[in-house]
Amino acid sequence: MTSADLHTMTGAYALHALDEDERREFEGHLVECPACAREVREFRATSARLAVAVAESPGPELKRRVMDEIATVRQLPPELPDRHSPTPVEPRRTRRVVVLVLAACLAAIGALGGVAIDRYRDARDAERAVAEQRARGAAIEAVITAPDAVGGSAPASGGGTVRVIASPALDRAVVLTSGLPTLPDARVYQGWYSDNGRMRSIGLIRPGTALLASGLDRASGVGVTVEPAGGSARPSGAPIVLIDLPAGRS
Amino acid sequence: MRTVVHLAAPGEHAPTLEDRLARVAQGDQEAFSFVYDAVIGAVLGVARRVVRDPAQSEEVAQEVLLDVWRGAARFRPDRGSAMTWILTMAHRRAVDRVRSAQAATDREHRTAVREHTPEYDEVVEEVEARLEREQVRRCLRTLTEVQRRSVTLAYYRGCTHREVAGLLDVPLGTIKTRLRDGLIRLRDCLGVGA
């Protein structure tokens, strides 16, 4: 790529919209192009205004959680000693995060699981997990008790029952399973939204726990399939259960 | 032309956000509390735009504020304002979140797969309807339609330029240019300096 081509990437770079390869190539260029670096700084300042323009009021619990947490979190020293230490400073990001970026909106699948585990191995996440669990419980309750909640249940073909409660207003659904057969180690249950037959993954289902799924949108139903460990991008077989959601929702 | 809004709202002799951040770097939790108050609205706002899900957006905001606490000593004033530094991290974190599939579910279920299907009409309308700052709205209007959609899809929805190109049915090379041109126009309209 020519230097002129690279220079046009300042905008996409500042908005975190480049693919990994391009990002790396551009960052190589950035160190030798002060004009580009300046433009990126200006664009970052510009996009910060876009964030300010959509500012929202947080609930008071968030601050309490953050203040509680910082009291237990060690601060980083000023210098950047090591590429592999976690650092919020752009543009030197760890490879792990880069891999996540590569995964992109376009549903790149594969190695995500391992990457995600790796990323969340930080000790501080253990504490956060507790708070998140609490928040999830509240979110599930909100769906179940939503005034517009709809749902249904059906027996799964291999035994057991699957129940779905969805709230279009909250754009979420809760999937509950009971009595599903235990699967061999290499197999997992995976949930899907069905958009009139087109399946969108909503994540893996651990029998006995509730799956809280966002992005309900106009899903016409919810299905469950059995997939290889780690899940699949698309159902690899027929669903063991498919529950229609009432039509006519806005 | 109206002057640029002061993001840190400096009052009489009030320490700037950068001053506060320097105190945070020394472990000052009270200074951090001020920084939190100054930035949390915008941090949460950008997280909500990109991530959508309220609970996950709060997680992202929390992660960003922890990054601020942990990394305060690594803030480089010569590279831009503290607000820009923090909001760049916020956008990065939000984008990571939507591109890394359903992270909260990942942790519980080892992995999960999610599609992220942007709908640009909705985004643009919603963004425009709810933009709180008249200046930003006015400046966004000065962009061409493709520039504006490119910038808002990339920033508020966290799309890659490839996805933006696909959504707008415009060649990839063109989108890069439109993103840059759009940001240049926005930068000049907002009076943003380096």
Give the pLDDT confidence of A167-182 residue by residue, as tens digits: 888 899 988 887 888 8
Of B5, B49, B173, Cβ closest to residue A54: B49
CATH no. of B120-190: 1.10.10.10
How many angstroms separate the CA of residue A75 from the nearest CA in chain B?
A: 4
- Say yes or no for a CB contact (<8 Å) between A104 and B99: yes
At B71 the pLDDT is 93
ipTM: 0.76
For helices B172-190 and A34-52, the axis angle rounded to 10 degrees is 70
Of A62, A69, A70, Cβ closest to residue B61: A62
Q: What residues in A contact B108, CB-CB < 8 Å?
A: 206, 209
- Say yes or no for a CB contact (<8 Å) between A50 and B92: no
Domain borders along chain B are: 17-109, 120-190
Whether A17 and B159 have beta carbons less than 8 Å apart is answered as yes
Question: Which residues of B, range 53-82, sit inside 8 Å of A by Cβ?
Answer: 53, 55-56, 58-59, 61-62, 64-74, 76, 79-81
Question: Which residues of B, range 118-157, sit inside 8 Å of A by Cβ?
Answer: 118, 127, 130-133, 136-137, 151, 154-156
* Test the A interface: residue of B32, B87, B88 with most A CBs within 10 Å: B88
At A78 the pLDDT is 79
CATH no. of B17-109: 1.10.1740.10
Of A51, A214, A215, Cβ closest to residue B45: A51
Low-confidence ranges of chain A (pLDDT < 70): 1-4, 79-134, 208, 247-250
Q: Is the peptide bond before B77 cis (omega within 30 degrees of 0)?
A: no
For strands A211-213 and A241-244, give the pairing.
Answer: unpaired
Q: Could you tell me if A115 lies within 8 Å of chain B, comparing CB atoms?
A: yes
At A77 the pLDDT is 83
Phi then psi for residue B120, to 5 deg, are -70, -30
Give me B146's structure tokens: 């493709």
CB pairs under 8 A between A and B: 318
Looking up tokens 């770097």 gives: B25
Strand order in the sheet with A150-155: A150-155, A161-167, A172-178, A211-213
Per-residue model confidence as pLDDT tens digits over A36-84: 999 999 999 999 999 988 888 888 899 999 999 999 888 988 765 444 4
Whether A36 and A30 have beta carbons less than 8 Å apart is answered as yes
